[in-house]
Amino acid sequence: MSEPKKLYIKTYGCQMNVYDSERMAEALGGKGYVETKFPDDADMILLNTCHIREKAAEKVYSELGRFKGLKAGKPDLKIGVAGCVAQAEGEEIMRRQPMVDLVVGPQSYHRLPEMEAKVREGEKALDTDFPEEDKFEKLKNRPKAKRGPSAFLTVQEGCDKFCAFCVVPYTRGAEVSRPADRILREAQDLVERGVREITLLGQNVNAYHGAGANGDLTLAQLIWELDKVDGLERIRFTTSHPNDMMDDLIEAHGTCSKLMPYLHLPVQAGSDKILKRMNRSHTAESYLRLVERIREARPDIVMSGDFIVGFPEETEEDFQATLDLVEQVKYGYAYSFKYSTRPGTPAAERAQVPAAEADERLQRLQSMITRHQREIQDSMVGRELSVLFEKPGRFDDQMVGKSEYLHSVHVTGSKANIGDIARVKIVSSGTNSLAGEVIR
């Protein structure tokens, strides 16, 4: 038998890219590729790119430049660009970096095996279509390798919301939900391979409306179906839009014991003027009311969010409204970004906030978020949490896992195994994690 070919994938961006990279590795696994952690060993290098940050494409071009020498010394090495920059730039990538052999958009990964054959023949392969066929179905014949205890599962893709700052509707296309039976089959398969926690993914996951046996299912209905899967112990989902937070989903947070008490619900800003200009179609007040209702259903829920500061025309007063909202919600986690222009999006044309001002606001917001984060993490000390162990820790006899609230928890001398879920008494809170003892 010939040596297996080696594949090096570098993944940027959101969890959906992480999921997609796994699927691409499996698709190419069928063509005899095994993954390597070292680009120098690779027969094929794939960059799975993200377009959300400023100068994302430029960064991809400079990253590609670094492989030039490698390719010069190894003419059989094939280089591919996947993900959202591939979708946005398309052919331009091969024009600017002629050593790129393959460009594949997020909707075309199932065509990778054919594309690989083409590039092995010395041709170029480009596919940034939004094809009709179901890529997930085409990708499903994969090896039954054992998995870690926590896995992602894409249930919905794309977005129709067109927030004024965002490229996702352009790179991922229109909102599409996968049929429920296929998701359930995939979940069952994951559980058989050792998975105990599944995070359902979608750019707008709570807008899910996939076909079921008796009409479309909502995300909450899908969660209740997953709740019946034996051996699956934990369900999470991300990312949600406030406008799609339906009653049945809120209620599920109070009644579905497998649904973890953690919710990522980005608000982006606290000023109604800015929210309107962002085309978010919710107000600060409606968001706060929503959080209140979620907390009525599940009082201990830990909230997480995304923020953009320095959006065009944001004044100090507008920014203050963001701080007020954060002070009221108190997030356990939050991701905050300085607004950056994305060519082609409506906000790119508007008057920009001076960078120094935006930087200063970002710092103020982040220090408030860090304070809350710290308070919430510290409040876990003395409590008994449930921990799913994911990997060995840095020290002998140490295991690291995640609590129901998504905090990292370290335990020493417990004899716990990866995949175990244990009751843990939290004894201390460190910079980025908690420490505890398994309760016998």
Q: Enumerate binding residues for ligand SF4 (CB under 6 A).
A: 159, 161-163, 166, 168-169, 203-204, 241
Say which entry of ligand SF4, ligand F3S, ligand SAH, none residue 270 contacts (CB below 5 to 8 A, set by partner kind).
none
Which of residues 20 and 404 has its CB atom nearest to ligand SF4 in the complex? 20
Which of residues 19 and 30 has its CB atom nearest to ligand F3S in the complex? 19
Backbone phi, psi, residue 93, to 5°: -60, -45
The rounded distance, in Å, linking the Cα atoms of 15 and 5 is 26
Among residue numbers 49 through 108, which ones bind ligand SAH (CB under 6 A)? 52
Does 158 help bind ligand F3S (rule: CB under 6 A)? Answer: no
Given 340, 352, 377, 414, the residue binding ligand SAH (CB under 6 A): 340
Does 239 help bind ligand SAH (rule: CB under 6 A)? Answer: yes
The CB-side HSE value for 189 (13 A sphere, CA atoms) comes to: 14
How many helices (H) and strands (E) the chain has is answered by: 15, 21
Does 17 help bind ligand F3S (rule: CB under 6 A)? Answer: yes
Say which entry of ligand SAH, ligand SF4, ligand F3S, none residue 340 contacts (CB below 5 to 8 A, set by partner kind).
ligand SAH
Cβ atoms of 278 and 163 within 8 Å: the answer is yes
Which of residues 11 and 429 has its CB atom nearest to ligand F3S in the complex? 11
Say which entry of ligand SAH, ligand F3S, ligand SF4, none residue 308 contacts (CB below 5 to 8 A, set by partner kind).
ligand SAH
Say which entry of ligand F3S, ligand SF4, ligand SAH, none residue 339 contacts (CB below 5 to 8 A, set by partner kind).
ligand SAH
Which of residues 102 and 252 has its CB atom nearest to ligand F3S in the complex? 102
The rounded distance, in Å, linking the Cα atoms of 181 and 345 is 36
Cβ atoms of 172 and 106 within 8 Å: the answer is yes
Backbone phi, psi, residue 254, to 5°: -95, -20
The rounded distance, in Å, linking the Cα atoms of 178 and 156 is 6
**Beta-bridge partner residues of 411:** 399, 436
Taking the complex as a whole, the smallest distance from the CB of residue 37 to ligand F3S amounts, in Å, to 21
Sheet of strand 125-127: strand arrangement: 33-35, 5-11, 44-49, 78-82, 102-104, 125-127
Does 16 help bind ligand F3S (rule: CB under 6 A)? Answer: yes
Cβ atoms of 411 and 435 within 8 Å: the answer is yes
Which of residues 168 and 434 has its CB atom nearest to ligand SAH in the complex? 168
H or E element in which residue 98 lies: none
Of the ranges 36-44, 218-226, 338-346, 425-433, which one interacts with ligand SAH (CB under 6 A)?
338-346
Structure tokens given for 249: 């989903």
Please tell me the total number of residues recorded for the chain in this structure: 440
Of the ranges 161-169, 180-188, 283-291, 393-401, which one interacts with ligand SAH (CB under 6 A)?
161-169
Does 337 help bind ligand SAH (rule: CB under 6 A)? Answer: yes
Say which entry of ligand SF4, ligand F3S, ligand SAH, none residue 169 contacts (CB below 5 to 8 A, set by partner kind).
ligand SF4
Say which entry of ligand F3S, ligand SF4, ligand SAH, none residue 171 contacts (CB below 5 to 8 A, set by partner kind).
ligand F3S
Which residue is at the shortest CB distance from ligand SAH? Answer: 306
Taking the complex as a whole, the smallest distance from the CB of residue 227 to ligand SF4 amounts, in Å, to 27
Which of residues 244 and 437 has its CB atom nearest to ligand SAH in the complex? 244
Of the ranges 13-21, 217-225, 253-261, 356-364, which one interacts with ligand F3S (CB under 6 A)?
13-21
Q: Of 427, 425, 433, whose CA–CA distance to 391 is shortest?
A: 433
Cβ atoms of 305 and 372 within 8 Å: the answer is no
The rounded distance, in Å, linking the Cα atoms of 229 and 309 is 41
The rounded distance, in Å, linking the Cα atoms of 171 and 162 is 12
Among residue numbers 39 through 98, which ones bind ligand F3S (CB under 6 A)? 50-52, 83-84
Query: Is the Cα torsion angle 363, 369, 374, 375 positive or negative in sign?
Result: positive
DSSP character for 217? Answer: P
Does 168 help bind ligand SAH (rule: CB under 6 A)? Answer: yes
Structure tokens given for 219: 């995300």
* Three-class secondary structure of residue 291 per DSSP: helix
Taking the complex as a whole, the smallest distance from the CB of residue 206 to ligand F3S amounts, in Å, to 16
DSSP character for 302? Answer: E
Taking the complex as a whole, the smallest distance from the CB of residue 14 to ligand SAH amounts, in Å, to 7
Structure tokens given for 337: 């970004």
**For binding to ligand SAH (CB under 6 A), which residues are involved?**
52, 165-166, 168, 203-204, 239, 241, 266, 268, 306, 308, 337, 339-340, 342
- The footprint of ligand F3S (CB under 6 A) covers 13-14, 16-17, 50-52, 83-84, 167-168, 171-172, 203
